[in-house]
Amino acid sequence: MGRLHDLHIEQGQSPWLDNLRRGWVTSGELERWVDRGVRGLTSNPTIFQKAIESTSDYDEQFGDLVASGTSIDDAYWDLVTTDIRSALGILAPVHESSGGADGFVSVEVAPSLAHDTDGTIAAARHLHQVIDAPNLLVKIPGTAEGLPAITTAITEGISVNVTLLFSVDRYAQVIESYLQGLEAHPGDLTAVSSVASFFISRVDTEVDRRLGAIGTPEALALQGRAAVANARVAYQVFLEAFSGPRWEALVARGARVQRPLWASTSTKNPDYPDTLYVDTLIGPDTVNTIPDTTLADFEDHGTVARTIDVDPDEAGSTLSAIEGLGVDLNEVTSLLEAEGVTAFTKSFDELLGVLDGRAAQLRS
């Protein structure tokens, strides 16, 4: 047993792996991560872009798809769903042994749908039906247009990973969308699951830049503190939302909490500790989806201790102090959401372009 097992057993947090590539499936690497304590897996368009472009692992399947006349867009989804199905199989024992609480694998709808409610609903339904696994989470961006899609998906029994969350206010709206979906669901709720992916390191990157531009000693002293404070305030919102009579009525029907999932938890600033966004966000009923490099770092020298709610008042005071210096956190989180959608769309489009080029070479 190592630190990843300890996170779950001692602190009630589930460490997930934020990466997927075919070579990890075929080599047994993903199974080894699960043996070491990984309890779930997330993917996104950027992860698949890197995996497909940087290896030859997908060439044989892609060649067969091209030879059969499959379109480039459909070929992409065939490649992705093959990897997702393999990962779902490897994580299935975790899902079963946890009573459906863990062992999930996430696949994201096309990023171009981030501001298209109806398109997102249709894509979520399609992925849910085509992949058809109890431990699948369909990733839906937590944009304003994504909120009604989340409610519809949950109402229809589609388990959801809400992604690209930066704002505490938007996070509260996502929780409300989840609760409304559960309330509208016609039957037993035990098979419906959800996590809300709250992005961490990018908040520090942008806030630190703005504090650096202010340049006062007070501003510089607050660098590296916004992201953790933001997540800790979000955790208090989570605790409040999933308590009281409204929630208890849903629990009676088998409902599960929508766990906060800390995403983007590798440190971007080399001056910060490499396990900063793992060590400081540990607590019950949470998930941390961690890139493999940071997972290895945490296994080696991370600290297993409850930290998510060590001082809730201090977290709120930190955010107030940052805003008091002139950093508009609403502006920051809106910018980061827009940049996140753009980055995932760019990765998706670039990969389709690469696949189109490969297909042309194969045909010639």
Average pLDDT, the chain: 96
Q: What's the pLDDT at 55?
A: 86
* Per-residue pLDDT tens digits for 239-291: 999 999 999 999 999 999 999 999 999 999 999 999 999 999 999 999 999 99
Q: What's the pLDDT at 172?
A: 98
H/E run at residue 90: helix 72-97
Q: Which CATH number fits domain 3-363: 3.20.20.70, 3.40.50.300, 3.40.718.10, 3.30.450.20?
A: 3.20.20.70
pLDDT of residue 94 exceeding 80, the answer is yes
How far apart (Å, rounded) are the C-alpha atoms in residues 94 and 65? Answer: 32
Q: Residue range 297-325: average pLDDT?
A: 97
Q: What's the pLDDT at 280?
A: 98
Q: Residue range 74-95: average pLDDT?
A: 96
Q: What's the pLDDT at 361?
A: 83
pLDDT of residue 364 exceeding 80, the answer is no
At position 33, the amino acid (one-letter code) is: W
Query: In Å, how far are 4, 81, 297, 342 from 201, measured between CA atoms?
Result: 21, 28, 16, 17
Bridge partners, residue 259, by sequence: 195
- In the chain, where the domains are located: 3-363
pLDDT of residue 1 exceeding 80, the answer is no
* Per-residue pLDDT tens digits for 203-240: 999 999 999 999 999 999 999 999 999 999 999 999 99
CA-closest candidate to residue 275, choices 285, 284, 288: 288
Query: In Å, how far are 95, 99, 153, 244, 338 from 104, measured between CA atoms?
Result: 7, 12, 17, 28, 27
Q: Residue range 186-195: average pLDDT?
A: 97
**What percent of the chain has pLDDT above 70?**
100
Q: Which residue has the higher pLDDT, 309 or 46?
A: 309
Q: What's the pLDDT at 311?
A: 92
pLDDT of residue 49 exceeding 90, the answer is no
- The set of catalytic residues is 139
At residue 175 the predicted structure's pLDDT band, cuts being 50, 70 and 90, is very high
